[in-house]
Amino acid sequence: MPLTLDDVRELDRQDPLATFRSRFTLPQGTIYLDGNSLGAQPSAAVAAVDGLMSQWRDSLIQGWNQGWFDAPERLGDRLAPLLGAGPGEVLVTDTITHNIFKLLGYITEGQRGTEGQRGTEGQSRARPVILSEGGNFPTDGYIAQGFCRFGGFEHRVVPEGEALDAYLDERVAAVVLSHVHYRTGRLRDMAAITRQVHASGGEVVWDLAHSAGALQVNLAACGVRYAVGCTYKYLNGGPGAPAFLYVRRDCQDRAWQPLSGWLGHASPFAFEVDYAPAPGISRFRTGTHSPLAFAALEASLALWQEVDLAQLRRKSQRLIELFRESLGDCLAEHSIADITPDEAQRGSQVGLVEREHGYAIVQALIERGVIGDYREPGLMRFGFAPLYLSHEDVWQAAQHLREVLSEGEYLAPCFQQRGAVT
Ligand SMILES: *Cc1c(COP(=O)(O)O)cnc(C)c1O
């Protein structure tokens, strides 16, 4: 039996996370199912950015000694519990793209050290291969390619959906993998794959873009040494909010990272001629960060300290089931494939594929105030961010989708035009 509006309102009354919704500002009439691309605005972020503007005006350069300078480490420590990491293991900095590059350089420089080839120009590397996965978010593969091109490595791609087994050998230095896949929403077995890669003598860099803030990540328990992620998706840090990087404590002092900028120097204000890496996680800093961006993120992370991640996961999965149940037979009637994996193997999004009209269907939904997004080829993505979505929102979104389909609303010419960002 599909749930009625009264049923879903009752679910909202019983929802232990329901109060978080009032801490976000969303436009009237919007049901936001795109928090997996850009999270909604925590109301406290507005005051935080405002406060930062006043601090800039009043404190000028002294602001750097009033909390701006150590924000990458301070916010990293705040983020750590959401990732199953400890203090001093997470740094908030740069973008995922930069951070993957830094970690690949760091890992491979460390391997040269241990394999006795440091500084031997021209001598071939014991582990010359970097693996990435086909079908991953493009930047992960692009930056691996760039790293290989400039670092003299060989880039190999594991085709989407294939196991690593046939690709992992003694030549592989590192593998870049997504924890939750950005298109399919598939959740990987982080512990098992980490063990497998380490057993082959290689390292794995996990990309947590679609898992941080969507589910409890257990980096320490899974034996992970290196990870990256962003804060503008489920973590609601704001557009272009800085990314993060995780390096397990016992792996932090092995080598240089390749973007050896002044703020990752052991004593940046000594202005020495030669680079010397800072101890610990701070060596993964590069240049000057933006306190404005950190202010918005800090407000969001304060809110996250109050979230029970087990409750978050339960609600995320309940919302996904509610959405699919409420769609009923309408997907089959319109030949739309639901590619969402089973509960144990998914993150917090639903993927529906309609190759011919997917883009237009998403546009018709947006016109009705239901915001999802579209990824080629044919994929309609709907992200479920449990902090600001109610059960009623999700139920209503499903009714909208049913109507868009049954009335052929998406066929209108205005929904066929494409913008630069889908
Ligand atoms: C969103 C996303 C990114 C974004 O990378 P940036 O460098 O922060 O722009 C990277 N990887 C994955 C898997 C993503 O989903």
In this structure, are 278 and 398 located in the same domain?
Answer: no
Residue among 23, 69, 42, 16 nearest 294 (CA): 69
Question: Is the beta carbon of 234 within 6 A of some atom in ligand 1?
Answer: no
Which pLDDT value is given to residue 2? 84
- 110-118 contacts: CB < 8 A, separation 24 or more? 110/251, 110/254, 110/255, 111/173, 112/255, 113/254, 113/255
Which pLDDT value is given to residue 191? 98
> What is the β-pairing status of strands 349-353 and 379-383?
antiparallel
In this structure, are 237 and 337 located in the same domain?
Answer: no
Q: For helices 5-14 and 309-327, what crossing angle results, to 10°?
A: 180
Are 293 and 241 spatial neighbours (Cβ–Cβ below 8 Å)? Answer: yes
Which pLDDT value is given to residue 124? 72
DSSP tag of 239: T
Q: For helices 43-59 and 291-304, what crossing angle results, to 10°?
A: 140
Which pLDDT value is given to residue 114? 53
Question: Is the beta carbon of 182 within 6 A of some atom in ligand 1?
Answer: yes
| Rounded distance from Cα 99 to ligand 1 centre (Å) | 10
pTM: 0.96
For residue 309, give the amino acid letter.
L
| Rounded distance from Cα 137 to ligand 1 centre (Å) | 7
The response to whether 143 counts as a known ligand-binding position is no
In this structure, are 273 and 367 located in the same domain?
Answer: no
DSSP tag of 187: B
pLDDT in tens, 318-342: 999 999 999 999 999 999 999 999 9
Question: Is the beta carbon of 210 within 6 A of some atom in ligand 1?
Answer: yes
Question: Is the beta carbon of 284 within 6 A of some atom in ligand 1?
Answer: no
Q: For the domain that residue 120 is a member of, what is the CATH number? A: 3.40.640.10
Are 276 and 262 spatial neighbours (Cβ–Cβ below 8 Å)? Answer: no
Last residue of a domain, one of 304, 336, 360: 304
Whether omega before 277 lies within 30 degrees of 0, making that bond cis, reads no
- The answer to whether position 28 is within a domain reads no
In this structure, are 253 and 386 located in the same domain?
Answer: no
DSSP tag of 415: G
- For the record, the structure tokens of 357 come out as 């009209």
In this structure, are 228 and 332 located in the same domain?
Answer: no
Nearest residue by C-alpha to atom 14 in ligand 1: 209
Are 361 and 410 spatial neighbours (Cβ–Cβ below 8 Å)? Answer: yes
- The answer to whether position 27 is within a domain reads no
Nearest residue by C-alpha to atom 2 in ligand 1: 209
* Residue to mutate (ligand 1; options 97, 103, 183, 188; most atoms within 8 A of CB): 97
Distance of CA 330 to the CA centre of its chain: 31
Last residue of a domain, one of 238, 273, 304: 304
Cβ partners under 8 Å of residue 420, min gap 6:
none
The response to whether 357 counts as a known ligand-binding position is no
Q: For the domain that residue 323 is a member of, what is the CATH number? A: 3.90.1150.10
In this structure, are 297 and 317 located in the same domain?
Answer: no
The response to whether 231 counts as a known ligand-binding position is no
Return d(Cα 187, Cα 276) in angstroms, integer: 38
Question: Is the beta carbon of 144 within 6 A of some atom in ligand 1?
Answer: no
DSSP letter string over 242-264?
A: --EEEE-GGGTTSS--SS--GGG
In the predicted model, residues of the chain with pLDDT beneath 50 are: 115-117, 119-120, 122
Which pLDDT value is given to residue 123? 57
Report CA-CA distances (Å) from 379 to 136, 336, 357.
Answer: 14, 10, 10
In this structure, are 205 and 337 located in the same domain?
Answer: no
Are 125 and 112 spatial neighbours (Cβ–Cβ below 8 Å)? Answer: yes
Identify each DSSP E strand in 188-313 by its residue range: 203-207, 226-229, 244-247
- The answer to whether position 319 is within a domain reads yes
- The answer to whether position 40 is within a domain reads no
Number of domains in the chain: 2
Last residue of a domain, one of 272, 304, 336: 304
Return d(Cα 40, Cα 20) in angstroms, integer: 12
Q: How many CB atoms lie within 10 A of CB 273?
A: 4
pLDDT in tens, 88-123: 999 999 999 999 999 999 999 999 865 444 544 545
The catalytic site residues sit at 137, 207, 232-233, 381
- The answer to whether position 387 is within a domain reads yes
- The answer to whether position 161 is within a domain reads yes
In this structure, are 253 and 139 located in the same domain?
Answer: yes
H or E element at residue 6? helix 5-14
In this structure, are 104 and 204 located in the same domain?
Answer: yes
Which pLDDT value is given to residue 116? 46
| Rounded distance from Cα 59 to ligand 1 centre (Å) | 34
Which pLDDT value is given to residue 60? 98
Quickly list H helices, 178-290: 190-199
| Rounded distance from Cα 97 to ligand 1 centre (Å) | 7
- The answer to whether position 52 is within a domain reads yes
Are 352 and 379 spatial neighbours (Cβ–Cβ below 8 Å)? Answer: yes
- For the record, the structure tokens of 331 come out as 């997907």
- The answer to whether position 41 is within a domain reads no
Nearest residue by C-alpha to atom 1 in ligand 1: 209
Return d(Cα 203, Cα 283) in angstroms, integer: 19
Question: Is the beta carbon of 106 within 6 A of some atom in ligand 1?
Answer: no
Return d(Cα 264, Cα 279) in angstroms, integer: 9
In this structure, are 313 and 198 located in the same domain?
Answer: no
Question: Is the beta carbon of 97 within 6 A of some atom in ligand 1?
Answer: yes
| Rounded distance from Cα 257 to ligand 1 centre (Å) | 20
| Rounded distance from Cα 314 to ligand 1 centre (Å) | 25
Question: Is the beta carbon of 137 within 6 A of some atom in ligand 1?
Answer: yes
Nearest residue by C-alpha to atom 5 in ligand 1: 96
Q: How many CB atoms lie within 10 A of CB 166?
A: 8
In this structure, are 174 and 75 located in the same domain?
Answer: yes
In this structure, are 242 and 110 located in the same domain?
Answer: yes
Domain that holds residue 110: 48-304
The response to whether 140 counts as a known ligand-binding position is yes
